[in-house]
Structure 1
Amino acid sequence: MKKYSSQKAAINFIKNNTVPILFFIICLGGVIASKLSIPYILNEIVNRLDRNLFLVLSLIIPVVAGMGLNFALVIGAMAGQIGLITIKVLNIGGITGLFLAALISIPFALLFGYGTGKILNRTKGKEMITSLILGFFAMGLYQLVFLLFVGTIIPIKNPEIVLPGGVGLKNAIDLTIIQYALDDLLSINVMGIKIPIFSLFIIGLLCLFTKFILKTKIGQDFRALGQDMHVAEVAGIDVDRTRLMAITISTLLAAWGQIIFLQNIGTLQTYSSHEQVGMFAVAAILVGGATVTRATIGNAILGTILFHTLFIVSPNAGKNLFGDPQIGEFFRSFVAYGVIALSLVLHAMQKNFDANANVESME
Structure 2
Amino acid sequence: MNNTNKFKMFLIRNAVPIVFLVVSAIAIPISRFSLDYLVQEMLIRLSRNSFLVLSLLVPIMAGMGLNFGMVLGAMAGQLGLIFVSDWNVVGLNGMVLAAVIATPLAIFFGWICGVVLNKARGREMVTSYILGFFMNGVYQLAVLYGFGSIVPITNTKLVLSRGYGIRNTINLDSIRRCLDDLIPLEIFGIQIPVATFIVIGLFCLFIVWFRKTKLGQDMRATGQDMGVADSAGIPVLRTRVISIVISTVLACYGQIIFLQNVGTMNTYNSHEQAGVFAIASLLVGGASVSRASILNVFVGVILFHLMFVVSPMAGKYLTGDAQIGEFFRVFVSYGIISLALVLHAWRRHADREIARAQFRGQNADGGTKK
Q: Give the TM-score, by structure 1 length.
A: 0.97
Q: Say if 2:218 and 2:234, in contact at 8 Å, map to a contact too.
A: yes
Measure the CA separation in 2 of the matches of 1:153 and 1:331: 42
Query: Which residue pairs with 2:179 in the alignment?
Result: 182
Query: Which residue pairs with 1:23 in the alignment?
Result: 20
Superposition map of 1:262-281 within 5 A: 262-281=259-278
Measure the CA separation in 2 of the matches of 1:16 and 1:353: 11
Answer yes or no: is 1:317 the counterpart of 2:314: yes
Q: Extract unaligned runs of 5+ from structure 1.
A: none
Query: Which residue pairs with 2:34 in the alignment?
Result: 37
Measure the CA separation in 2 of the matches of 1:279 and 1:21: 21
Instruction: Provide the secondary structure at the position in 1 that maps to 2:271.
Output: coil
1:141 alignment partner AA: V
Instruction: Tell me how far 1:101 sits from its aligned partner.
Output: 0.7
Q: Say if 2:12 and 2:347, in contact at 8 Å, map to a contact too.
A: no
1:256 alignment partner AA: Y
The C-alpha deviation readout for 1:122-175, integer Å capped at 9, x for no partner, is 111110001000110111001110111112211223211001110111111110
Answer yes or no: is 1:221 the counterpart of 2:215: no
Answer yes or no: is 1:351 the counterpart of 2:348: yes
Alignment RMSD: 1.3
Q: Say if 1:157 and 1:166, in contact at 8 Å, map to a contact too.
A: no
Instruction: Tell me how far 1:226 sits from its aligned partner.
Output: 1.3
Instruction: Indicate the larger mover: 13-22 or 245-254.
Output: 13-22
Q: Say if 2:12 and 2:343, in contact at 8 Å, map to a contact too.
A: no
Measure the CA separation in 2 of the matches of 1:15 and 1:123: 29
2:234 alignment partner AA: I
What is the aligned counterpart of 1:112 among 109, 114, 117? 109
Measure the CA separation in 2 of the matches of 1:23 and 1:31: 12
Query: Which residue pairs with 1:98 in the alignment?
Result: 95
Query: Which residue pairs with 2:290 in the alignment?
Result: 293
Measure the CA separation in 1 of the matches of 2:137 and 2:250: 22
Measure the CA separation in 2 of the matches of 1:210 and 1:143: 33
What is the aligned counterpart of 1:169 among 166, 170, 188? 166
Instruction: Indicate the larger mover: 129-138 or 10-19.
Output: 10-19
The C-alpha deviation readout for 1:310-345, integer Å capped at 9, x for no partner, is 001011100011111000000111001111111111
Measure the CA separation in 2 of the matches of 1:361 and 1:20: 30
Q: Percent identity?
A: 51
Q: Say if 2:65 and 2:124, in contact at 8 Å, map to a contact too.
A: yes
1:346 alignment partner AA: L
Q: Give the TM-score, by structure 2 length.
A: 0.95
Answer yes or no: is 1:14 the counterpart of 2:11: yes
Query: Which residue pairs with 2:80 in the alignment?
Result: 83
Measure the CA separation in 1 of the matches of 2:175 and 2:206: 26
Answer yes or no: is 1:211 the counterpart of 2:187: no
What is the aligned counterpart of 2:47 among 37, 46, 50? 50
Measure the CA separation in 2 of the matches of 1:230 and 1:222: 13
Query: Which residue pairs with 1:261 in the alignment?
Result: 258
1:177 alignment partner AA: S
Instruction: Tell me how far 1:217 sits from its aligned partner.
Output: 1.0
What is the aligned counterpart of 1:246 among 243, 247, 263? 243
Measure the CA separation in 1 of the matches of 2:3 and 2:197: 37
What is the aligned counterpart of 1:234 among 209, 218, 231? 231
Query: Which residue pairs with 2:195 in the alignment?
Result: 198
Q: Say if 2:71 and 2:272, in contact at 8 Å, map to a contact too.
A: yes
